[in-house]
Amino acid sequence: MLKESGLPRTVTLDTEKAELVIIDQTLLPNELKLLRLIELDEMCDAIKKLRVRGAPAIGVAAAAGLYCLAERYDTKNEDEFFQKLKADADILNATRPTARNLSWALEEMISCAESHKGKGVVAVKSALKAKAKDVEEQDVAVCKAIGEHGAALLKDGDTVMTVCNAGALAAVEYGTALAPVYVASENGKKVAVYSMETRPLLQGARLTSFELTENGVDTTLICDNMAASVLAQGKINAIFTGCDRVAANGDAANKIGTYMLAILAKHFDVPFYVCAPYSTVDFSTKKGEDIIIEQRSGEELRSLWYEKSMVTKKARIYNPAFDVTPAELITAFITERGIKKPHEL
């Protein structure tokens, strides 16, 4: 979270204890609880069950988590060490298929380990520790840079709309889509936010509204089906969203409902910006239809936020976690390298 809020980092590596520390986002906004993870199964559970979520945060968690696992390998044999390391990386990588930062961070860790191969297990562990912390600090710097580029697009008194949560809770600090709002605020601009509820997991209601208000930002929560009505009233100056994976052609996968919002933005002539680290761009994926879309349990719709099920058992449930916004609907990407049109990535 932003330092001014007094809240802890969303995800961090405790280098002294070799523990992955995360905010349990499933308990927010009612309880702020830190989890300390050292076991592979609890790390995988945390990612799958969205205790840690958001593409940048997942990447940082995977990097830190892999180091924490490696630190506890009871072997001095390099071949055995690397066999365990790669096996654990593969298991972590399989937890959520859509977010590019997860695989990117693990690739960075494996590459780091291999560059120190032959120097002994102790040296490899030390290198992994430094690399995991570097991934964490790099995330802060990248998100701050995204915020600086995005804040330049905002004027004092502007109001933006966002979907899901791509703020400080989706990264180490600042986040992506909300970083421009936070940096603008730090620069003395007053920027208000309309936060979409974001069914079925309510990231906008539970997380975005929580962190924005904790950081003193004027926040209005709306249901997803109210977006068109609000846009029609001319209240929104820009839309900022995050992104989990960008294809080489500029198509972008983000939380389900983003595609709908992009279509509405086009209709009402409101600029639609996707904020993402450059590491989110997957040049090996040619177009959006090639992105694997995570399918989640129907119980998230049927009963997760209800005291008892509100859906008949006879109804089938389709619950994709993401949708893909075509490049032609995206005004620009805001990255740490600047503001780029989809064809300029």
Question: Active-site residue numbers?
Answer: 244
- Full 3-state SS string of the chain: CCHHHCCCCCEEEECCCCEEEEECCCCCCCCCCEEEECCHHHHHHHHHCCCCCCHHHHHHHHHHHHHHHHHCCCCCCHHHHHHHHHHHHHHHHCCCCCCHHHHHHHHHHHHHHHHCCCCCHHHHHHHHHHHHHHHHHHHHHHHHHHHHHHHCCCCCCCEEEECCCCCHHHCCCCCCCCHHHHHHHHCCCCCEEEEECCCCCCHHHHHHHHHHHHCCCCEEEECHHHHHHHHHCCCCCEEEECCCEEECCCCEEEECCHHHHHHHHHHHCCCEEEECCHHHEECCCCCHHHCCCCECCCHHHHCCCCCCCCCCCCCCCCCECEEEECHHHCCEEEECCEEECHHHC
**Residues 100 and 244: beta-carbon distance below 8 Å:** yes
- Beta-sheet pairing, 252-255 with 245-247: antiparallel
Distance of CA 204 to CAs 20, 118, 341, Å? 25, 48, 26
Q: What is the number of residues in the chain?
A: 345
